[in-house]
Structure 1
């Protein structure tokens, strides 16, 4: 039986490079996993993949060139694939059944791409996190709240499509579901609002 302190969260990273958005997400996942005694792993990393220093500095983080299929070839039953196409929602009881939770890199795409399909074909048992698209760090955060905190997925406090305001005149609506923080705002990685603001500035500049 799995316990709260021995969970591993894995993102099968399917790109050769790491964009600034994903970098902030991964650092947030690594730090939050470390804070709860869990582990975070990026798997299927290309030989040329460069792990950011801030991510490598988190003790619970592991970069892994092998795929999840290789790592758990003899023990797939330990692994739960977070899959929007799964028949069942994730439940607190799944924390007693699984100790590895796998994310296929599909969460956070807008519009969503079904990049989980290859992992689904490899026989990992799947669970859903509800019908609304989440960023990758939100998906891991919700999974941890359910399997470690024993909060049913439907009772997690959510904010859907929140508006992010940069100043009096500029704002943007995020096309994702987030966990609502104690301050009533969406929980986002440190530096993410500033990054989105810079991207918004770029888009505005491109109009001229």
Structure 2
């Protein structure tokens, strides 16, 4: 467990069986269908954030609907489906870091380079890494010695080991043919 998440308490048991330990009114369900975005002030109202059904099929099948029926308060993290690790990271930044959702930079459906001529497009939203220094390139024309900055696409924040897993999965897929 990363040091930044060591104080988190993760549970895998049914939320309905935890009623004596977790008051229903202190639970916020992260629901893409919620009309309300997650906000820093939600930290004052909710002690628990319920993640379930956020990462599903592409396109999503609304698995969170099963949890929605339980009557928890809801908040959303934006219009694009996220991986569960990204949803947890975004929630932590909003609730603990007090960063409004609209101030977090995202990259949607990034194309990830696996090798020189191999890429994969991920059908999810990720937190964008801070931009790297732009590379300078020569500008065409009469003043070819003039330099300009080349804009780079934002890169996604992937969990540790994800790029290696994608490469391994890609290799396995190629072995099947």
Query: What TM-score do you get using the length of structure 2 for normalisation?
Result: 0.79
Report the Cα offset of residue 36 of structure 1: 5.3
Alignment check: 8 A CA contact 1:108 1:136 kept: no
1:72-83 equivalence runs, <5 A: 72=19, 75-83=23-31
1:109-128 equivalence runs, <5 A: 109-128=57-76
SS of residue matched to 1:93: helix
Alignment check: 8 A CA contact 1:107 1:139 kept: no
CA gap 1:108/1:142 in 2 versus in 1, 3 angstroms = farther
Tell me how many residue pairs correspond in the alignment: 154
Q: Which residue of 2 aligns with 1:144?
A: 92
Is 1:40 paired with 2:9? yes
1:99-118 equivalence runs, <5 A: 99-118=47-66
Report the Cα offset of residue 106 of structure 1: 3.1
Structure 1: which 5+ runs fail to align? Answer: 1-29, 45-66
Report the Cα offset of residue 37 of structure 1: 5.7
Larger radius of gyration: 2
Is 1:205 paired with 2:153? no
SS of residue matched to 1:43: coil
Report the Cα offset of residue 191 of structure 1: 0.8
Distance in structure 1 (CA, Å) of the matches to 2:16 and 2:68: 11
Alignment check: 8 A CA contact 2:82 2:124 kept: yes
Report the Cα offset of residue 204 of structure 1: 2.1
1:88-132, Cα deviation, whole Å (9 max, x unpaired): 111111011111111013325422232212211111111011100
**Which has more helix, going by share of residues?**
1
Structure 2: which 5+ runs fail to align? Answer: 133-153
Report the Cα offset of residue 142 of structure 1: 0.5
Alignment check: 8 A CA contact 1:108 1:176 kept: no
Alignment check: 8 A CA contact 1:109 1:135 kept: no
Q: Which residue of 1 aligns with 2:18?
A: 71
Distance in structure 1 (CA, Å) of the matches to 2:31 and 2:61: 12
Q: Which residue of 1 aligns with 2:162?
A: 192
SS of residue matched to 1:80: strand
Q: Segments of 4+ in structure 1 off by > 4 A? A: none
Q: Which residue of 1 aligns with 2:146?
A: none
Query: What TM-score do you get using the length of structure 1 for normalisation?
Result: 0.68
SS of residue matched to 1:146: helix
